[in-house]
Amino acid sequence: MKRLIYPSPVEISKALERPSAGIGDIDIIVKEVLARVRAEGDVALREFSLKFDGFAPASFKVEESSFQEAEKHVPEKIRDAMRAALASITAFHTAQLQEPETVETTKGVKCWSRDLAIEKVGLYIPGGTAPLFSTLLMLAIPARLAGCRDIILCTPPGKDGKINPLILYTASLCGVTAIYTIGGAQAIAAMAYGTESIPAVCKIFGPGNRYVTRAKELVQLEGIAIDMPAGPSELLVIADESANPSFVAADLISQAEHGTDSQVIMLTDSRAMMEKVQREVEEQVMKIGRSDIAGKSLANSSLILLPDLDECIRVSNLYAPEHLIIATYNPYIHASAVVNAGSVFLGNYSSESTGDYMTGPNHTLPTSGYARSWSGLTTNSFRKRVFFQEVTARGLRVIGPATELLAGAEMLEGHRNAVSVRLKYLNDEQN
């Protein structure tokens, strides 16, 4: 990891830059995938699956029997742990289901809204080097709680051409209605436009590599809703002298192992803590199975010494991390100053890993600085709000004249007349 000692604003800005690949090269590939899948459907899907995944199934849809078979390959202890995670995630996301109240904005004018489930949603779960069934829990549970009618899943196969049993079992556990063996930008294209095998959906959810993320961004420009631009994982830790350097190092490595384009940063006001964490990172990273991946990610990451914790918070808000751990003597004080972060973990015992699996809040979060304006997923991400309003005769007499004035000021005579004819009718009826 890079070490920065009381860096200048320019040096801080440089250190906070996310790892990037050539967007132009990615765009060329992704735009071709989107255009061809839209025009050629399953034919293009099979070609791209062979090209990028090395496998194209005879049928993209996974048979129902495969769901049931998968359970036999998942150890009972893992199934028990999954059910415990499901209970926590369900409890947190159920609490978000609150029907809005009816409001009388003026005498005779009532307004209310209803939250309705998005009928068809598509979930994307990456394949790659780890079966991210935890992300499937975080997507499928709120989708089911929201009442989505169709919940489809697209995920790429492993090298054996099969979907990991953990993914299949989790899908069955969470109420996914259909699974398709397809990954990459072509999976996003299939869910966006629909093909002979895979139905189009109303909104696409889930993280992925740069090609998947760019595909989601491009289909959004065409009016297809997405959850958020969720790219490579990132973690920022703020640690003072009270932090446990072993814990901090473990947290940094836990996110670095996601992928070579992940990024982790530690901000501290203690030079001694910086040195201890660096030593711990060097020792611990060699003990994990994904040390090669984590090592490349750590090369894009930094340990930064700043004058005080207030400056640490300022820099963190500037970075707007996906995950933020505050390991300080009194984390609640510093947490109150956080304005940009996807999910915040307080204290020495709150590892990001527990948030990934067991605590309950969603771990599908905005990355790449999008936490400045985006939120992590909630149950309401799978719903849409419809507004209702009722104006009685009494209410129209109250707000009608002001409406006429405002419509006239905008020179929209038709708008004004729609109110005027009603007011005239009420006046004529009264007389």
Is the residue at 386 inside a domain?
Answer: no
User: Does one domain contain both 261 and 398?
Assistant: no
Catalytic residue among 234, 257, 322, 352: 322
Q: Is 365 helix (H, G, I), strand (E, B) or coil?
A: coil
Q: Which residue has the tokens 């992940």?
A: 262
Q: Is residue 7 part of a domain?
A: no
Both ends of the chain: CA-CA distance in Å? 83
Low-confidence ranges of the chain (pLDDT < 50): none
Please check whether residues 200 and 300 belong to one and the same domain: no
> Does a structural domain hold residue 8?
no
Q: Return the pLDDT at 69.
A: 86
**Cα–Cα distance, 244 to 261 (Å, whole number):** 26
pLDDT value, residue 230: 72
- The angle formed by the CA atoms of residues 117, 122 and 125, to the nearest 5 degrees, is 130
Please say whether the beta carbons of 210 and 21 come within 8 A. yes
Q: Do residues 139 and 188 both lie within one domain? A: yes
| Pair (339, 216) in one structural domain | no
Residue 209: predicted pLDDT: 84
CB 230 within 8 A of CB 363: no
| CB distance 176 to 67 below 8 Å | no
What is the SS3 assignment for 15? helix
Residues β-bridged to residue 3: 303
Domain boundary among 192, 227, 262: 227
Tell me, yes or no, whether 175 and 219 share the same domain: yes
With b for 16 or more beta-carbon neighbours within 10 A and e for fewer, the 143-178 pattern comes to bbbbebebbbbbbbbeeeebbbbbbbbbbbbbebbb
pLDDT at residue number 182: 95
Total residue count of the chain as it appears in this document:
431
Give me the sheet containing 109-117, strands edge to edge. Answer: 103-106, 109-117, 383-391
The reply to whether 223 and 336 lie within a common domain is no
* Range list of β-strands (E), 100-233: 103-106, 109-117, 120-124, 150-155, 178-181, 203-205, 225-226
In a domain, 4, yes or no: no
Residues paired with residue 110 on neighbouring β-strands, in sequence order = 104, 390
Q: Which residues contact 429 (CB under 8 A, 6 or more apart)?
A: none
Query: Residues 249, 270: one domain?
Result: yes
Please identify which of the residues 323, 334, 352, 363 carries the catalytic annotation.
323
350 with 203, same domain: the answer is no
What pTM, to 2 d.p., does this model score?
Answer: 0.90
Domain boundary (199, 227, 255) is at 227
pLDDT digit string, tens, across residues 45-90: 999 999 988 888 889 999 988 887 899 999 999 999 999 999 999 9
Q: What is d(CA 192, CA 214) in angstroms, rounded to the nearest whole number?
A: 13
Q: Is 10 domain-assigned?
A: no
Is residue 108 assigned to a domain? no
- CA pair distance 215, 192, nearest whole angstrom: 10
CA-nearest of 206, 121, 153, 171 to 384 is 121
- Please check whether residues 198 and 243 belong to one and the same domain: no
For 101, other C-beta atoms within 10 Å of its C-beta total 8
Question: For residue 332, what are the domain limits?
Answer: 232-375
- Split into its structural domains, the chain has a count of 3
Q: What is the pLDDT of residue 429?
A: 85
Q: Which of 194, 227, 260 is the last residue of a domain?
A: 227
Domain of 347: which CATH number? 3.40.50.1980
**Residue-wise pLDDT tens digits, 179-202:** 999 999 999 999 999 999 999 999
Q: With H, G, I as helix, E, B as strand and everything else as coil, classify residue 164.
A: coil
**Do 153 and 55 reside in the same domain of the chain?**
yes
Q: Is residue 16 part of a domain?
A: no
Same domain, 130 and 251: no
Q: Is 222 among the residues known to form the active site? A: no
pLDDT value for 128: 64
Judge if 184 and 259 occupy the same domain. Answer: no
Is 415 marked active-site?
no
